A = this chain, B = another copy of it.
Amino acid sequence: MSRKPTLADVASLANVSVATASKALNNTDRVSAATQREVMAAAEQLGYHKASAAHNRHKRSGLIGLITSDYNGRFALPLLTGAENTLGASNHAALLMSSHGRPALEKSHIDRLAAHGVDGLIVVGNTTNSRPPLDPRTTMGLPVIYAYDPSRDPNDCSIICDNIGAGAQAIEYLLSIGRRYIAVIAGPEDFQAAKDRVLGAQRTFILYDFRPVAVLFDAWSEEWGERAAKLLVEQHPHLDAIYCLSDEIARGAARGLASIGKRVPQDVAIIGHDNWFVFASNAHPTLTTFDNNITMLGKTAAKFILDALTGRPHHGLTTIECPMIVRESTEARRHTALESTGRVYERNIQ
């Protein structure tokens, strides 16, 4: 026959109902292993591919599974929100399950989601570090998007925050407001986010023929920010800016500087990272910081899943820009010059 084989052809050859054939091909647990094997054999014999049914929208569940390894929801919920916004527009919805970073639980959750007919998977990390790809025997041909933590397989579709770009922009901005003695206080060296933000910062330093006063790695904590800031001023009295790789570090640095009589931003400008509301907006002064744009990450992941479902899969790494939010911790000088750059200003974020 010249026409493409249909699910009905497969069902007929395997001598089962169309519904049973569908269940077997979708790997649900509602058919016996023997039936599944028969249906799979019939599908192979006819050259029937699930992909050829990809346009049969009515066969879909309209559900996309999100698997998160996030404990406190800081990344998972905004990402779910973004994904839902995009999915809702095409009558899809998202289901979230929590894997606590345990591979066995992740696998078991995906098995359940697949058995209940989700159309695709978004795997959400919380470290920015790359992770092993899912086993194809687990995903069974479902489209998979890796978000926040990329897959180690460069052919997989991964979406991450543009931390290199953020680092580059942070230093460019500090130089543009006249700061010349700039230090970087980073988190632990084994986080990709720390490496990438420092890499971006170094690129701008090199581009403008500057050198950082110091780049210090340790922890994602206020305590470290406070300790590092005091140390920096002690060793480099001319210090006039600190790029902190998290808002917690930035808040600690602000406290450390205040405790030794340094004014922020008049003496030392501070930039944070994450736009974590409780730190960035509640701080004194409020923090200039980068927003990780997690909602946009979720929207993009959902869009890529929908694209894959209509036969246009994405591959490789996609980066999402992190906009800089300028607040009090840097804005005392050259305000007018800044306003002309088109950067995001926000004074009373809710």
List A residues at the B interface (Cβ < 8 Å).
Answer: 61-63, 68, 70-74, 76-78, 80-81, 84, 88, 93-98, 100, 105, 108-109, 112, 116-117, 221-223, 248, 255, 276-279, 282, 284
Contact = CB atoms under 8 A, between A and B. Distances in A.
Contacts of A221: 282
A350 to B, nearest CB: 11
Ranked nearest first, the 8 interchain pairs of A and B with the lowest CB-CB distance are A73-B73, A73-B77, A96-B96, A95-B95, A222-B282, A80-B98, A93-B112, A116-B116
Contacts of A68: 77
Nearest to A97: B95
A248 B100 contact: no
Given A73-B77, A96-B95, A278 B248 contact: yes
Oligomeric state, in number of copies? 2
Q: Is the interface of A mostly helix, strand, loop or mixed?
A: mixed
Given A81-B98, A96-B95, A97-B93, A223 B282 contact: yes
Contacts of A88: 105
Contacts of A282: 221-223, 248
A222 B95 CA distance: 34
A112 B118 CA distance: 12
B71 A81 contact: yes
Contact of A279 (B105, B108, B278, B284): B278
Contact of A78 (B72, B248, B276): B72
Nearest to A85: B100
Nearest to A19: B19
13 contacts: A62-B112, A68-B77, A72-B74, A72-B277, A73-B76, A77-B77, A80-B96, A80-B98, A81-B100, A84-B97, A93-B97, A96-B96, A116-B117
A162 B255 CA distance: 35
Contacts of A81: 71, 98, 100
A264 B157 CA distance: 52
A223 B93 CA distance: 38
Find the residue from A80, A84, A96, A112 having the highest chain B CB count within 10 A.
Answer: A96
B71 A77 contact: yes
Contact of A112 (B63, B112, B279): B63
B93 A77 contact: no
Contacts of A222: 282
Nearest to A79: B73
